[in-house]
Homo-oligomer: A and B are copies of this chain.
Amino acid sequence: MMSRVKVSELSRRTDVSVASIKYYLREGLLPSGTQTANNQAVYDDEHVRRLRLIRALVDIGGLSIAQVRRTLTAVDDEAVPLHDAFGAVMHGLDSVPETEPDPLDEVRTWLHRRGWSVDDRAPALYRLAELVATLRRFGFGGSVDEFDSMADTVEAAAGVEVQYARSKPDRTAAVESMLIGTVVYERVYAEIRRLALESASRDG
């Protein structure tokens, strides 16, 4: 347990500028500190953790402040079941496009066949359908069923990750774990993929 510290020390420990911390306080993303006798606010471990979560959402997830607020509201509301809080994180990472991409129904049917249960307004559902449309425009890819082997791999890993997140001692830690699992590992995969492609293109 960290002793209570002033905003300057909170900034030093989290590598978030004092100006940003004050902005998050004003916007209500970060709870107020405790007022001491000499009218100075002090902060504790909870503030460190919350700042870390905000920065992960902004820096890694690329969320706007409005999206961070929506996500944190779901995280903080104990009445929201944990799986809905996970959903809020995932939905907060992207938005649903205004037009329905053509292969949307195909993707829905595919998910249904796989027995995956996702919100009908999940941004990832729309984005995947858009990507299928893009692939087809470039003469790539036929049936959505071609994603099955990729999905098999991902499905097994996702189950493990969710179990791991659920095993965390509290909601903030669980959601943080889910967020890192989603956003950081998908970038890790993408970068490893680029390295593999570069290496393969040098061979022979």
Contact = CB atoms under 8 A, between A and B. Distances in A.
Interface stretch (A20-28, A34-42, A63-71, A175-183): A175-183
A7 interface: no
Interface in A146-199: 147, 150-151, 153-155, 157-159, 161-162, 165, 176-178, 180-182, 184-199
Contacts of A119: 198
A161 B197 contact: yes
Contacts of A125: 195
Chain multiplicity (copies): 2
Nearest to A85: B201
Contacts of A165: 201
Contacts of A161: 197, 200
A147 B200 contact: no
A185 B155 CA distance: 17
A134 interface: yes
Interface residues of A, number: 63
A10 interface: no
A122 B198 contact: yes
Nearest to A15: B137
Contacts of A201: 82-83, 86-87, 162, 165, 178
Contacts of A137: 52
Contact of A154 (B158, B186, B196): B196
A64 to B, nearest CB: 17
A62 B111 CA distance: 28
Given A140-B184, A201-B162, A128 B191 contact: yes
A46 B151 CA distance: 36
A127 interface: yes
Nearest to A151: B192
A169 to B, nearest CB: 13
5 contacts: A87-B201, A135-B180, A150-B188, A159-B203, A165-B201
